[in-house]
Amino acid sequence: MSDQEGVIKYQLSHQSRAIEDDISITSINAWRTLLFKLELIGQLEGRYDGYAFGNISQRLTAINCENVQFIISGTQTGNIASLSRHHYCLVLDANLQQNSLRSTGCCKPSSEALTHASVYQQDNAIQSVIHIHCPEIWRNSHELELPCTAADISYGTVAMAAEVKRLFDTAPLQNTDVFSMLGHEDGIVAFSDSMEKAALLLIQLLADAIAIKQRR
């Protein structure tokens, strides 16, 4: 596939040091472990040239704070069943126009951190963003009536950040908290005002996609 998973496309200024002890990873890590069990985040033989896929983030800053900071799973951690603190990093700020991102952590942020940042910047109420890879949902994007980013737009780019903004601005994402990335094989993004809601939305969609398949 041309849109290879796992390659960081933004300018990263990263400081290699552990995230602060008072940042809790309990919730994000529990949901991430469950999504790994469902193979929605992971690394599977025969998929994406062996690259790991999927990532999860949680907003840390208050709703009224302009500069959104969030923790996100690190790049190429998808092969690990259960992550620990040093597999997460903190995004301090992201500049979508300049395609740049600043972070700290024992590992570098996910290659799709810029897409997460663009979602957070659309609505201050968003507390969590989850990006999974799911062939069942992705192939049924239209049947499931999911808003879609354009097929010629690749993951982790400024163009994708602008496309996410377009989906919010032109209404498709005013009624649903999930979209499909047509230019990124199997890529789905969900977000919500809680991590639980974003994760449950994806699980519900997977059940709906399985039902569509079983009806055929």
Name the minimum Å distance from CB 152 to Zn ion: 16
**How many chain residues are in contact with Zn ion, going by CB under 5 A?**
1
- Of 177 and 185, nearer to Zn ion (C-beta) is 185
> Can residue 156 be called a binding residue for Zn ion (CB under 5 A)?
no
- Of 74 and 187, nearer to Zn ion (C-beta) is 187
Name the minimum Å distance from CB 134 to Zn ion: 10
Q: How far apart are CA 85 and CA 6, in angstroms?
A: 20
- Of 1 and 211, nearer to Zn ion (C-beta) is 1
Single residue of 187, 190, 191, 209 touching Zn ion by CB under 5 A: 187
Q: Which region among 78-86, 88-96, 144-152, 185-193 touches Zn ion (by CB under 5 A)?
A: 185-193
**Residue type present at position 56:** I
Q: How far apart are CA 42 and CA 44, in angstroms?
A: 7
Q: Which region among 38-46, 120-128, 186-194, 198-206 touches Zn ion (by CB under 5 A)?
A: 186-194
Residues that bind Zn ion (CB under 5 A): 187
